[in-house]
């Protein structure tokens, strides 16, 4: 274990809609001996602005984040898409600004949550908060942006009290896509319906993802269908005591 200090970038969706994810991450990291801080006045990584083409505004938001996390040793992000934004797009967005160098440095110090546990801390033994059969959905930015499919599966595979079952079409989009979900709601909903049919086919009681956007989409669909399957962030499931 190499990291003793980490800052949580809670992200807008994590802050506003899924505060318990942040709480779980703080508890887990602390148990692992990592000192956690949360720089104040966080808002958003700027991905929604970036994806819709408002790049000057996204750069301004990115600049704020770079300044906020200036002193962080490691930055841990609960969503693959936001981690991808910081790691892949900040350096380009801020390339012509005074923050260019810092943006690249922040990109290197930033980690998606599961990657931080497995690839930085090297810890993989946890106990499930919700026992039983679980299945895992690859969020697009984590899988194809950060090329990560193994870390979450390693953690879930070794999770005490849980049985990981494969999700058919795990690597297919859930239909969230940010503003896509409301610009083309019919298409987004049909993609979701196919995803959820796959989820139900696994017999899992718990659907895990590492992205608040996917969880909002899939969790919202499951709740609307009154499914017994719960959509949880990986951190919530790992947070079952050691």
List residues near another protein by CB under 8 A: 10, 12, 14-19, 21-23, 26, 38, 40-44, 46, 48-55, 57-58, 60-61, 64, 140-141, 144-145, 171-173, 175-192, 216-217, 219-221, 223-224
Q: Could you tell me the smallest distance in angstroms from the CB atom of residue 220 to another protein?
A: 3
Q: Could you tell me the smallest distance in angstroms from the CB atom of residue 158 to another protein?
A: 27
Closer by beta carbon to another protein, 43 or else 122? 43
Q: Could you tell me the smallest distance in angstroms from the CB atom of residue 122 to another protein?
A: 25
Closest of 109, 102, 123, 125 to residue 6, by C-alpha:
109
Q: Could you tell me the smallest distance in angstroms from the CB atom of residue 108 to another protein?
A: 21
Q: Could you tell me the smallest distance in angstroms from the CB atom of residue 180 to another protein?
A: 5
**Cβ burial 14-50 (10 Å sphere, 16+ → b, else e):** bbeebeebbebbbebbeebebebeebeebebbbbbbb
Who contacts 200 (Cβ-Cβ below 8 Å, separation ≥6)? Answer: 227, 229
Closer by beta carbon to another protein, 87 or else 141? 141
8 A C-beta contact, residue 215 and residue 163: no
Burial class of residue 64 in the structure, from the number of CB atoms within 10 Å of its CB (0-12 exposed, 13-18 middle, 19+ buried): middle
Closer by beta carbon to another protein, 2 or else 147? 147
8 A C-beta contact, residue 66 and residue 90: yes
User: What is the C-alpha separation between 9 and 68, in angstroms, rounded?
Assistant: 10
Closer by beta carbon to another protein, 125 or else 190? 190
Q: Could you tell me the smallest distance in angstroms from the CB atom of residue 186 to another protein?
A: 5
User: What is the C-alpha separation between 44 and 82, in angstroms, rounded?
Assistant: 8
Q: Could you tell me the smallest distance in angstroms from the CB atom of residue 124 to another protein?
A: 25
Closer by beta carbon to another protein, 159 or else 208? 208
Closer by beta carbon to another protein, 162 or else 238? 238
DSSP H or E run through 165:
strand 160-165
Closer by beta carbon to another protein, 1 or else 193? 193
8 A C-beta contact, residue 119 and residue 111: yes
């Amino acid at each position: 274990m190499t990291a003793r200090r980490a800052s949580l970038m809670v992200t807008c969706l994590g802050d506003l809609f899924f505060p318990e994810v942040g709480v779980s991450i703080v508890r887990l990291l602390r148990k692992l001996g990592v000192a956690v801080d949360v720089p104040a006045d966080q808002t958003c990584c700027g991905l929604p602005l970036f994806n819709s083409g408002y790049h000057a505004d996204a750069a301004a938001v990115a600049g704020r984040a770079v300044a906020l996390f200036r002193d962080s040793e490691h930055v841990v992000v609960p969503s693959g898409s936001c981690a991808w934004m910081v790691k892949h797009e900040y350096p380009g967005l801020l390339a012509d600004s005074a923050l260019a160098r810092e943006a690249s440095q922040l990109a290197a110090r930033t980690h998606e949550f599961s990657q931080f546990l497995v690839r930085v801390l090297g810890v993989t033994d946890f106990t499930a908060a919700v026992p039983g059969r679980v299945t895992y959905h690859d969020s697009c930015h984590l899988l194809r942006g950060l090329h990560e499919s193994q870390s979450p599966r390693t953690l879930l595979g070794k999770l005490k009290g849980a049985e990981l079952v494969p999700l058919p079409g795990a690597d297919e989009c859930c239909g969230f896509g940010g503003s896509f979900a409301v610009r083309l709601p019919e298409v987004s909903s049909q993609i979701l319906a196919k995803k959820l049919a796959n989820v139900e086919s696994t017999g899992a009681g718990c659907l895990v993802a590492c992205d608040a956007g996917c969880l909002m989409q899939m969790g919202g669909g499951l709740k609307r269908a009154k499914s017994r399957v719960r959509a949880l962030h990986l951190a919530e499931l790992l947070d079952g005591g050691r």
